Amino acid sequence: MNQFLQMGANATLNSPRGSVTVSYEVSNSIDISLTAFLLTDSDKVQGDSGIIFYNQPQSASGIATLTPDQKVGNTNVHKLNFDMSKASAGVTKVAITLTEDNNTGFSNVKNLKAEIHADNMIIQLVPSSFTNENGIVVLELYLRNGQTKARSIWRGFDSGLEGLCRNYGVEVESNAENKPAAPQTIQKQTPKEPDKIPNTLSPINLEKVRGTVSLNKGQKPVIIDKTPEITATVSWETGTDYDIYALVYTKDGRQIDVAMFGASGVPPLRSFDNGAVEHMGDVGRNFQSTKTEVIKLRLNNNILAVVPVVYSAQSNGTGSFYRYKVSMSIDNHNGTSVTIFAQNANNNDTIYSCVPGILYNTQEGVIINPLELYSEPNSECRPILRMGSSNMVEVIMDEGPINDYK
C-alpha cells in the first residue's frame, strides 16, 4: 500500500518496525549527513546516547540504527532502521534530520525525497522547497496511544547541525574537515512551564513588507506592522459552503478555538478576550461569485499566535480547495495586505481542512508564515497547536476534536 504524506500531515503506521530512506541526486558540491534524535515529550534528548549519527550509528535500546549510505546509480541513499517498540523509558519520538555539510544549502540538492517502509506500507514524503537552509527536520516518528505514527516536517534551519542540535538540547563543534564532531550534551534543560513561555517571538532575518504582497508555500515568512485592527479574510469561489475558524495560542499555553460552530467537547465561541480575536459571522450558501469570511484581530500581549483554518464538512459535498480557489489575505488597514493564493492548493476532493498560514504576534510586528497544511483524506478533526522546542508555535493536523456539523 503506497501513500503520500504532505508537509505537516501525519499517518499511522501498521507496524512499529520499519525503515526510513532519504535519497537525492549525487553531486560533488554537496555533502549530506543524516542524524536522528531520540526525544522525550519535551523534545529533548536524554544524553549523548540520544543522538544517532555516523560516529554512533546504533542506539543501545535498538530503537534506531543508521546504516552506511549507498550509491545507487546517480542517487545517494541514507537508511535508518527503526523499532519503536524498543523505545527506552522516557523516549517517545525519533526526529530524523539532514545537514548539508559543505554549506551550499539544500536549494542545490536535486530530487530530494524520503520514504517510510513499515510492513507492506510505503509512505512517500513530499518535500518543501528550500533556499539557503543547510539543516532540515525531515520527519518525526512518534508513539501515540500505543500506535506508531509519522509526521512529515520538512522544516529548514540556516544554522545546520548546530541549530538542529540546540533545538534538541545538544551542542556540536565542527572539526577541520568540516564534518560535525560528536555532539556533547548541554546541561539538562527542564521543559518550560506554560507561564514561562515568552510573549514575543524573535523575527530574526525577516523582511518587513508594505504594500500588496503575495506569499506561496515554501517562501520565507514576512513581517508586517501591527495595527490596532488586522483582518484575516478567506475567500473562495461559490459552489460550496466553507466555514472559517481561528485557533488561538495564548501566553499561558492554552489553545482557544474561535468558531461559529463547535467540535466534540468544544462549544462555539464567536469572540475571545474582549474581541482580541473575533469571528465576523458565517456566510452560508448564496449566489455571489466569490464568498468571504473574516476573522478580526485586535492583538494583545496575551496572544502568541493565531491560525485561521478553512473547513468544509463532508456533508457539504465534495470539492477540492484548488477547485474553489481558496485563498487568505491578511490586511493591517495601514497600506499592507499579504495574500496566500490558491495556485498551490490541494486538489483532493476528500480533504476537508486547510491551514493557509500562521500569524505570530511579536513586539516588532505580525509574522505571517505560509503553511498550506491539509488534513488527512476523510478526516474532520481539527488541528491542535503546541509550543515547539524553538519557542515557536506549531500546527499539528488531525489531532484535535471532530468538528460538529452545524
The residue that leads in pLDDT, 344 or 201, is 344
> Which candidate, 307, 309, 259, places its Cα nearest to that of 281?
259
Phi, psi of 252 (to 5 degrees): -90, 15
The whole-number average pLDDT for the span 12-18 is 94
Distance of alpha carbon 281 from alpha carbon 326, whole angstroms: 18
Helices and strands, counts by H and E, the chain:
1, 30
Own/partner long-range contacts of 390-394 (Cβ < 8 Å, ≥24 apart): 390/167, 391/192, 391/197, 391/198, 391/201, 392/201, 392/360, 393/249, 393/304, 393/305, 393/307, 393/358, 393/360
> Which candidate, 43, 93, 87, places its Cα nearest to that of 61?
87
Per-residue pLDDT at 363 exceeds 50: yes
The residue that leads in pLDDT, 235 or 172, is 235
Question: What pLDDT, in 10s, does the model give residues 256-284?
Answer: 999 999 999 999 999 999 999 999 987 65
Sign of the four-CA dihedral 221, 225, 226, 229:
negative
Say if residues 347 and 391 touch (Cβ distance below 8 Å).
Answer: no
pLDDT at 192: 35
- Residues of the chain above pLDDT 90, percent: 43
Write the DSSP assignment of 33-66 as a string of letters: EEEEEEE-TTS--SSGGGEEBTTB-B-TTSSEEE
Residue 176's contacts (CB-CB under 8 Å, 6 or more residues apart) are none
Question: What pLDDT, in 10s, does the model give residues 34-78?
Answer: 999 999 988 889 888 899 988 889 999 999 999 988 988 889 999
Collapsed DSSP state (helix, strand, coil) of residue 402: strand
Question: What pLDDT, in 10s, does the model give residues 145-157?
Answer: 889 999 998 888 7
Sign of the four-CA dihedral 340, 346, 347, 352:
negative
Per-residue pLDDT at 359 exceeds 60: yes
- Residues of the chain above pLDDT 70, percent: 81
Distances (CA, A) of 178 to 102, 160, 169, 185, 237: 7, 12, 21, 20, 52
Phi, psi of 194 (to 5 degrees): -55, -40
> Which candidate, 39, 55, 60, places its Cα nearest to that of 141?
39
Mean pLDDT for the chain?
A: 82
The residue that leads in pLDDT, 161 or 313, is 161
pLDDT at 405: 67
Distance of alpha carbon 196 from alpha carbon 190, whole angstroms: 12
pLDDT at 9: 85
Number of other CB atoms surrounding residue 254 within 10 Å: 11
The whole-number average pLDDT for the span 167-191 is 49
Distance of alpha carbon 134 from alpha carbon 106, whole angstroms: 6
Distance of alpha carbon 257 from alpha carbon 259, whole angstroms: 6
Say if residues 50 and 63 touch (Cβ distance below 8 Å).
Answer: no
Per-residue pLDDT at 139 exceeds 80: yes
> Which candidate, 61, 101, 68, places its Cα nearest to that of 82?
61
Strands of the sheet containing 222-224, edge to edge, are: 207-208, 222-224, 366-374, 353-361, 303-311, 243-250, 255-258
At residue 103 the predicted structure's pLDDT band, cuts being 50, 70 and 90, is confident
Q: Left, alpha or beta for 370 (phi > 0: left; psi -120 to 50: alpha)?
A: beta
Question: What pLDDT, in 10s, does the model give residues 196-231?
Answer: 333 334 454 577 889 998 887 667 888 999 999 999
Scan for cell 490541494, then name that residue.
Answer: 346
Distance of alpha carbon 232 from alpha carbon 292, whole angstroms: 10
Phi, psi of 278 (to 5 degrees): -140, 130
pLDDT at 254: 94
pLDDT at 345: 54
pTM: 0.52
Q: Left, alpha or beta for 47 (phi > 0: left; psi -120 to 50: alpha)?
A: left
